Amino acid sequence: MAEIDPIAERREREEQERKNKSLKTIMWSLVGVAAVMAAALAYIWSTKSNLVNDLNAEKEELTQQMIALKGDYDSLSSEYDSINSQLDSSREEVNQLIERIQQTEATNRAKIRQYEKELGTLRSIMKNYIVQIDSLNTLNHKLTADAAAARKEAAESKAENADLKGQVENLSGKVATGSVIKSRGLSVAAYNSSDKVTDRSSRVVRLLASLSLVENDLAPKGPVRVYLRVKDPEGILLTNSNQTSFNFNGQSMVASASREVDYEGKEVDLSIYLNDIPSYQAGIYTVEAYTTKAFLGKTELLLR
């Protein structure tokens, strides 16, 4: 039987111990790496979860702001048809924007930022409506007060001068049964290059004014030309190469556009286009209609 070499046996044990120690070192290193990776993954998941929560909260806040703006628009009212029509259009824009926000993922940052800008624009438009309605109401109150003052003055004059009463009654009768052609329903709309109504100033290519000459059996029969004067938000008259002039109350005036119709004492509907204006700016446009004998009316158009 061969003898076991003690030295070789010891070396073999030492070599095995070194291998075991090395394996333990590798094992603990792998355990450490796994722990670090797990912590990193947990941090990333937590961070992502917090970010998604923040984005959802931001989307919800934006939605609530839009709903509040919808309530503000719903509370606005006016006695003027042109403003009511514009309000209806803006209310529809608000409703559509709320639907788009609700259908968009909160993580779509580009869309959310776009909706925030549209919210700001709709808020600015609402402020313009409020200013416009307040201005018209103030004007209406002033006119009412002026009318009351005029009635009071007329009553005082009646007591002082019987002859003046006869003149006023005679004049009132002439006005009531006069031969001057009058109108109703003056309105104006802006159209884009696709011939669709728009309120965006950058897309407007033409304006269309519509009105009706009312029935008047005493008015002269035959051709009647209606003149349109359109002023931009700065009060500058819009004109093109087809501009014309007319006399009104002894004063020569320039018209932006005009149209002649055949008036036979019956009601006549007509429309007048204003074309070839290079550009339009945002703001309130004033539109006035005349014949050489009468001022037919005035309306306004808001472009944004």
- Delimit the domains of the chain by residue range: 28-177, 181-303
What pLDDT, on a 0 to 100 scale, did the predictor assign at position 4? 60
What pLDDT, on a 0 to 100 scale, did the predictor assign at position 163? 62
Full 3-state SS string of 134-174: HHHHHHHHHHHHHHHHHHHHHHHHHHHCHHHHHHHHHHHHH
What pLDDT, on a 0 to 100 scale, did the predictor assign at position 3? 60
What pLDDT, on a 0 to 100 scale, did the predictor assign at position 42? 59
What is the DSSP secondary structure assignment for residue 52, as one 8-state letter? H
Residues 280 and 204: beta-carbon distance below 8 Å: yes
Q: What are phi and psi of 262, to 5 degrees?
A: -95, 115
What pLDDT, on a 0 to 100 scale, did the predictor assign at position 256? 94
pLDDT tens sequence for the chain (304 residues): 556 677 777 787 878 878 778 787 888 878 777 777 876 675 565 555 555 576 777 788 878 887 888 887 887 777 777 777 887 878 888 888 888 888 887 678 788 888 888 888 888 887 887 777 877 777 777 777 777 777 777 777 777 766 666 565 665 555 545 678 898 999 999 999 999 999 999 999 999 999 999 988 888 899 999 999 999 999 999 999 888 999 998 999 999 999 999 999 899 999 999 999 999 999 999 999 999 999 999 999 999 9
Task: Classify the C-alpha dihedral 89-91-93-99 as positive or negative.
Answer: negative
- The structure tokens 């722990």 sit at 35
Q: Which of 206, 190, 208 is nearest to 198 (CA)?
A: 190
Q: Which fold has domain 181-303?
A: Immunoglobulin-like (2.60.40)
Sheet holding 283-290, edge to edge: 257-263, 222-231, 283-290, 295-303
Q: Which of 65, 162, 59 is nearest to 105 (CA)?
A: 59
What pLDDT, on a 0 to 100 scale, did the predictor assign at position 102? 80
Q: Residue 114: which H helix or E strand, with range?
A: helix 109-160
Taking the complete model, does pTM exceed 0.75, yes or no?
no
Residues 183 and 212: beta-carbon distance below 8 Å: yes
